[in-house]
Amino acid sequence: MRPKILFIINSLTGGGAERVMAALLLHSRAYGDRYDMALALLDDEPAAYTMPDWVTLHQLDCRGSLLQSIRQLRSLERSLRPAATLSFLTRANVANWASRAGSGRPWVISERVHTAAHLGTGLSGRIGRMLVSLSYRYASHIIAVSQGVADNLSDEFGVPSDNISTIANPVDTTRIARQALEKYPAHPDEPYIMAMGRLVENKNFGLLIDAFAAASIPGKLIIIGDGPLRPDLERQIFDHGLVDRIILPGFVQNPFPLLAGARFFVLCSNAEGFPNALVEAMSTETAVIATNCRSGPSEILAGTHDLNVEAMTLAKFGILVPCNNVAAMADSLRYFQEDEPRKRFARLALARTKDYTPEKAAQRYWHVIEQSMQTV
Which pairing describes strands 4-9 and 84-88: parallel, antiparallel, or unpaired? Answer: parallel
Q: Which of 282, 312, 286 is nearest to 211 (CA)?
A: 312
Q: In angstroms, rounded to a whole number, what is the distance separating the alpha carbons of residues 155 and 140?
A: 19
User: What three-state secondary structure class fits 38?
Assistant: strand
Confidence (pLDDT) at 120:
64
118 shares its domain with 209: no
Whole-angstrom Cα distance, residue 307 to residue 278?
18
Residues facing residue 40 across a β-bridge: 8, 58
**3-class SS at 9?**
strand
In the chain, how many domains are there?
2
DSSP, collapsed to helix, strand or coil, labels residue 164 as strand
The CATH number of whichever domain residue 221 belongs to comes to 3.40.50.2000
The pTM score is: 0.79
Domain shared by 87 and 184, yes or no: no
In a shared domain, residues 94 and 194: no
Boundaries of domain holding 308? 173-356
3-state secondary structure (DSSP) of residue 242: coil
Q: Closest Cα to residue 142, out of 134, 151, 150?
A: 150
Could you give the count of Cα atoms lying within 13 Å of 191 in the half-sphere of its Cβ? 11
Examine the domain organization and report whether 346 and 212 are in the same domain: yes
121 and 218 fall within a common domain: no
Residues 186 and 145 in one domain: no
- Per-residue confidence (pLDDT) for residue 234, from 0 to 100: 98
Do 142 and 35 lie in a common domain? yes
Closest CA to 219 of 253, 193, 239, 242: 193
Whole-angstrom Cα distance, residue 327 to residue 322?
10
User: What DSSP string describes 47-81?
Assistant: -SSPPPTTEEEEE---TT-HHHHHHHHHHHHHHH-
201 and 70 assigned to the same domain? no
Contact 20, 170 (CB under 8 A): yes
190, burial (CB in 10 Å: exposed 0-12, middle 13-18, buried 19+): exposed
> In which residue ranges of the chain is pLDDT below 70?
114-121, 185, 376
Q: Are residues 166 and 178 in the same domain?
A: no
Regarding whether 321 and 199 lie in a shared domain, the answer is yes
| Distance separating alpha carbons of residues 268 and 15, to the nearest angstrom | 18
Which pLDDT tens digit goes with each residue over 186-214? 778 899 999 999 899 999 999 999 999 99
Shared domain check, 203 and 268: yes
Q: 195 and 342 share a domain?
A: yes
Nearest to 144 by CA among 356, 365, 301: 365
